[in-house]
Structure formats: C-alpha cells, structure tokens
Structure 1
Amino acid sequence: MEKSGNMIDKMLTQNGLGHKIPNKVVAKQKPTFLQKQQSGRVAYTQGIAAEEQTCHWLEQEGWTVLLRRARTRRGEIDIVASKAAVLCFVEVKKRRSIEEALISLQPAQQRRLFRAAECLLQKHPYWHYEEIRFDLFVFDDVGRMERLEDIIRQT
C-alpha cells in the first residue's frame, strides 16, 4: 500500500523535483458539488413556487386543477387542468429570463410530455373533454410570467 502512495506522490511532483502539483480536482470537487446541490435546491424551490403561482392563476381564471406533478412511466406533467370542454396539460418553466424559459422546452421534452399525456388519458378515462391542448407558463427572476397556449401539436 505504501508503494502506491509513493507512486501518487511521484505523480504529483513536477519532473521529480519535489514541487507538488496542486490537486485542483480534489480541492474543487467539494465546493462545486455543494454549490450544485445548493443551486439545485434553490431551483427546485423556485420551480415549486412557479407551479403554485400557475395553479393560483388558473383557478382565478376559472380552471379546475385536476392533477399536479402527475408522474407516469413516460414522464411528468406539471399540471393538468380543465375548463368547460378543454383539457389542458401545463408545463411550467422558471429561468433567469423569459427568453431562457421559452427556449428550454426542447423537442425531446415535448415528445415526453405528449407521451405522458397519453398515459394520463388512459389512466383517467372519465375525464370529459372536446379539446386537448398543451400550455406553457414561463417565469423569470423578476417575477414576470407569460403564458403560451397550445404549444405542442402532434404531426
């Protein structure tokens, strides 16, 4: 075991002259990991708050929230709401800017949302609707919100 420790020390010296090369990877891993973990918690909390705000807005507009954070084997839908004969699958995005939030819904995620919605429709055959649509609510750091209706079309 001592030999392997000596080999590591040799590898950490520069040209065998005894000058240790700073092991920057080890030194930065913990703070970087902790920073990512902390920023992940903040993003999660902000995302939940944006979903809450979206549900509140929908209810103020006469929508009934049927499900929140609906998980299926195909993906998750943030909010499922209905109003009259419209069933709406809602995706909520919170980013630093509205523009960042708008471009964050990539085609692969759109496909996952569509497939997750199919699973939910099979699981809830008693939902009555004449129209299905996907809406996107986006939020930025200053609290602005924008809503885009009917963002995903199956072709």
Structure 2
Amino acid sequence: MTGDLLGDLDMFETDLFGYAAARERDRALPKLPVAIAGDARDTRKDGDAGPAKTARQDRGLRSWLAGAAAEKIVALAYDRRGIDLLETRWRGRGGEIDLILRDGSEIVFCEVKAARSTQEAILRLRPAQMRRIHAAASEYLGRVPEGQLAQVRFDLAVVDGTGCADILENAFGHF
C-alpha cells in the first residue's frame, strides 16, 4: 500500500481484471512437484510436474481479489467523506474486520460485501459473523486509549457489480 488510495485502487483493478492474463502466464511456467518422489501421495507419472490449480483455488483467488478491490473502493468512499482509515483486514483472535476507521471521535468497524444488491449483502451478513466482528472489535478496543468506553459504529458497505459503493451506517448493533 502506498497510501495513495487512487493509485492503490488502480493497482487492485489491474490485479482483478488482469487475472486471466496472469493465469495464462502462470500456466507457461514449469510447475514444481507437490509430492516427494516415492511418497504414497505421489501420483505423478514420469515427466508430470503435478496437478494444476483446482477450480476451487481459482474461485478462492478471484473472491479474494474481488474482496480486496471492494475494500479499496469502500476505503476511497470513506476518504471522500473525510473519514480516516486506521486498519484494513485487521485480524484478532475473535475474527477479522475488513476496515477500521475514525469518524471524529467515533471508531467505525466496517464489514465489506461484494454483491449484486444491498439486500443480497444484508442477507449474507449472518449472526455468527456479527458475533465474530463484535469479538474482534472488542479486542481492538482493548488496544486504543479510550478502550471499551470508545464511541463505536458498525457499518456494512456493499459494492455492486458496477463498482458503486453503498455504505449503511449503524447496520448492525453494538455489542
């Protein structure tokens, strides 16, 4: 991250949309063996370098890149509102928080979803995920001077297929 949100966004768009070209380049590279010769898991034939990436791995990479791009779009939207970005993909023992921001005296914990519609994103935010976000937020608050007395807000940000961000402030309750 360079600190320049527009430059970072361009980098992620390049990564996201250049993925197919990168995959083609990767296919041209020699593959390293995934099992040691003679190992019981070694199912390779002579001259075979091992299995290619699975469809599941491809979907996982695409999802990760789409999520990272969506987070950049949302961070830019908050920046335009004058809200300071503190952390991205902050991970605690309780779980991960996509974006942590400061809006004046308030700490904002934001869950970012890439979805076709806001309604679809709301349905994807399950109670178990909200509990994990609350647990991680509680852990994060233990590291700031205000501690558990800090004013907090939990937002849900949705990025649709066109790249438009919709931020729902106070989308889910306080812990």
Q: TM-score, normalised by structure 1?
A: 0.72
Structure 1 residue ranges without an equivalent (≥5): 1-29
Task: Look up the equivalent residue of 1:86 and give its one-letter code.
Answer: E
Residue matched to 1:6? none
Stretches of structure 2 lacking an aligned partner (at least 5 in a row): 1-50
Deviation at 1:83? 1.7
1:149 CA displacement: 0.8
Is 1:47 the counterpart of 2:67? The answer is yes
Determine the C-alpha separation between the residues in 2 that align with 1:68 and 1:122.
17
Q: Does 1:63 align with 2:83?
A: yes
Q: Relative to total residues, which structure has the larger strand share, 1 or 2? A: 1
- What SS does the aligned partner of 2:170 have? coil
The corresponding residue for 1:15 is none
Residue 79 of structure 1 and its aligned partner are, at CA, apart by 0.7
Find the residue that maps to 2:54 and give its secondary structure.
Answer: helix
The answer for the alignment partner of 2:112 in structure 1 is 92
Partner of 1:143: 163
User: How far did 1:84 drift?
Assistant: 1.2
**Does the 8 A contact of 1:101 with 1:140 survive in 2?**
no
1:152 matched residue in structure 2: 172
The alpha-carbon distance between structure 1 residues 154 and 134, as it changes in their structure 2 partners (threshold 3 A), is: closer
Question: For the residues of structure 1 that align with 2:152 and 2:118, how far apart are their CA atoms?
Answer: 25
Q: Do the aligned partners of residues 55 and 86 (structure 1) sit closer, same or farther apart at CA in structure 2, a change above 3 Å counting?
A: same
Higher mean Cα deviation, 98-107 or 74-83? 98-107
- Equivalent residues of 2:70, 2:163 under 8 A apart: no
Asked whether the equivalents of residues 100 and 108 of structure 2 are also in contact (C-alpha less than 8 Å), the reply is yes
Which one of the candidate residues 132, 136, 142 is aligned to 1:112? 132
Aligned residues: 125
Query: What's the CA shift for 1:144?
Result: 3.1
Which SS does the other structure have where 2:145 is aligned? coil
Following superposition, the deviation at residue 140 of structure 1 comes to 2.1
CA separation in 1, counterparts of 2:117 and 2:62?
16
CA distance in structure 1 between the aligned counterparts of 2:174 and 2:71, rounded to whole angstroms:
25
Q: Does 1:75 align with 2:100?
A: no
Larger radius of gyration: 1
- Kindly provide the amino acid, as one letter, of the partner of residue 132 in structure 2: R
- Superposed displacement of residue 130, structure 1: 5.5
TM-score by length of 2: 0.64
* Aligned alpha-carbon RMSD (Å): 2.3
Counterpart amino acid of 2:83?
W
